[in-house]
Amino acid sequence: MIAICNNEGACGIAATGASLARGDLALDAIEAGIRLVEASEEVRTVGRGGWPNLLGEVELDASVMDGTTLRTGSVGSLTGYLHPVSIARQVLERLPHELLVGEGARRFAAEIGAEAGELLMPHARSAWQRWLETEVSAAEQARWPDVPMAELCQQAIDPETGRDTTVFLAQDVEGHIGAGTSTSGWGWKYPGRLGDSPIIGAGSYADSRYGACACTGVGEMSIRAGTSRAVVLYMKMGMSVEEAVHEAVEDMRALKGGLIGRVTIHAIDRQGGHKVVAVNGLPENHYWLWRAGDAAPSSHPCEIIAISDVPAPKPTAHRRYEQMGL
């Protein structure tokens, strides 16, 4: 048995490990861990407390994948509900579909009695309001929100560096492998933007015959490269988990133009091996690991591989306000 998660999953990985130790299914253990991350107001890129979009709304994305059945469930651009990972799980369990977004996702959440709640916490509300007042012209404020937003969303190239999204991978005692993701996406994103988290094959993929992979960071890169599916496919072709992740890194080197930044690739194989690589990463990039018999999860540094020069983050308003504790 094994479970790994990115650095943002610190408050949930122990619950996932304990669930696996009790003999629970991989997806049950993953959901239990991610729900704790979603509920934490200290985690500012997942669930309650996440940064809002340009309109000041917190939009959540999440996914789960059962590596034994290859069934998936995802939700995107979900507002007003506290645990998108559980709603994604119910998409898998109850619907013939794989992905719901926007109003459809909200309708389904209400239908199944999912827990509703306020997502925009005071720190995020204050930062967004200050951004609006200082970065948007008086003329545009007067017409808000009926203004062009394409240029405003360029500030989204300054994500919470190395600390965005949460991803969990696990293998249970029966050998079933699962993957789960949850995120509020980038702060100040264009409304309706989906990153890789709800996109199966990009942000996550699991196949109990070979292994699983999930990504954090610049989701646009993982979408373009199909990173998570690629890693599992490379393992199917006979590569080790380490070789598969490194081959996926090479795929990312082919990306030209568009948004290029930081991506962390997390992967496990069916033998209980794992590999985590931070593409264009920072020294503080790390992940959490739990194995059967461990008293507690442990933190480990990611391997850092540079594939391009990443511009220094812009001192955008929301980062300044976060640094001020707002």
Residue 82's identity, in one-letter code, is: L
Identify which of 4, 64, 61 has the alpha carbon closest to the alpha carbon of residue 205: 64
How far CA 19 is from CA of 5, 85, 128, in Å, comes to 15, 17, 38
Maximum distance among all alpha carbons in the chain? 61
Cα–Cα distance between 36 and 18 in angstroms, integer? 13
**Residue 195 CB burial class (10 angstroms; 0-12, 13-18, ≥19):** buried
For the chain, percent helix, then strand, then coil, each to nearest 5? 35, 25, 45
Cα–Cα distance between 135 and 317 in angstroms, integer? 7
Of 16, 165, 216, 227, the catalytic one is: 165
Residue 142, SS3 per DSSP: helix
- In contact, 203 and 219? CB cutoff 8 Å: yes
Cα–Cα distance between 275 and 257 in angstroms, integer? 28
Cα–Cα distance between 107 and 249 in angstroms, integer? 38
Residue 277, SS3 per DSSP: strand
Catalytic residue check, 165: yes
- In contact, 196 and 262? CB cutoff 8 Å: no
**Residue 173 CB burial class (10 angstroms; 0-12, 13-18, ≥19):** middle
| Stated length of the chain | 326
Place of tokens 């304990």: 18
What residues are labeled active site?
A: 165
